[in-house]
Amino acid sequence: MLLAIWASLAAVALGDGEFLFSTTTTAAQTPVPVVSADCNPFRGTRYITIGNGNGIQASQCTASWDLYEIRVFDENDNQLSVTATSNTGYDDPYTPFKAVDGSTATFWAGDHDVGMSCSCWDDGKKDGQAIRLDLGSEKTVSRIQLVQGGADDQWAVSKIRVHCHSSSLNSNPLELGISMGTTDITCGINGCSASVLNPGYADTCDGITAAAGAASFGLAMLVGLGLAGQ
C-alpha cells in the first residue's frame, strides 16, 4: 500500500508551467462595483500594486504565481506606459518587466520563497507575491487588464488585491475575483469591478486544498518512515 501511495505522489506535477490559452467562452457577468476607502484608481493614482488574494493549483508548496501581462488604460481608454517592480521579489529570469512588455508569451513569476500553493495556503500569504506599477505621474485609470495562462494554468490565482498608493501598500485594498485567463477591471467614480472574465470565474483553491494537503501529509509520512526512496 505504501508503494501505491508513493506512486501516486510521484505523479504530482511540480514547478511553473507554460502559457496555456483557454478556448472557454466568456461567462455572463453582472459586475457590482467594489468600493474601497483607500483605492479607486479612477480618482487618480501614480502607483498601483497588484497582489495575490488566494493561492494557485500547483501542488508544490514553493510554486509561484505567474502573471503574463498587465495593461492599464486612462479615462479615454488609451493604454498608459508603465514600469513594473516588485518588493516581494521574483523568480529569475521572470522579472516584473515581463508582465508589462506587451507580450503574452512572457510572464512575471513571484518569488518561490513565498509559495502560493493552495495545499500550503494561509491568509498570511495574501500580497505575499505582488507587482507594483508606476504610471510616471498621477493618472486617472478607467481600466486594468490582466492576462494569466488560461483555464488549465496551475500557476494562476483567482483573487487579487489592488492597492492605490504613493509609496507603500494601503491597509484596505480592492479585493476582486478574476479569471484564470483574461480579466478586464473597469473603474468609475463609484468604484471598480471585474467586468469581463474569459473564461468565467473559478476559485483556484476550490476542492484542491484538502486533497493536496493530504498528499503532502502522505509524502511527509513516507519520508519520516524512511520509505520515500524505496
Domain coordinates in residue numbering, the chain: 2-225
Of 195, 67, 188, 194, nearest in space to 133 by CA: 67
Q: Give yes or no for residue 222 having a pLDDT over 80.
A: no
> For residue 47, how far is the Cα from the chain centroid?
18
Averaged pLDDT of the chain: 82
Neighbouring-strand partners of residue 186? 143, 193
Q: What pLDDT digit, counting tens, does each position of 45-68 carry?
A: 999 999 999 999 999 999 999 999
CB 5 within 8 A of CB 124: no
Distance CA 184, CA 170 (A): 22
What is residue 169's predicted lDDT score, i.e. its pLDDT?
A: 62
Express each pLDDT in 165-216 by its tens digit: 876 666 689 999 999 999 999 999 999 999 999 999 999 999 875 444 444 4
Cell of 179: 479569471
Picking from 126, 144, 127, 129, the residue whose alpha carbon sits closest to that of residue 41 is 144
Over range 102-123, report the average pLDDT. Answer: 95
Instruction: For residue 2, give the 3-state DSSP assignment.
Output: helix
What order of strands is seen across the sheet that includes strand 191-198? 69-74, 141-147, 182-188, 191-198
Element (H, E) at 197: strand 191-198
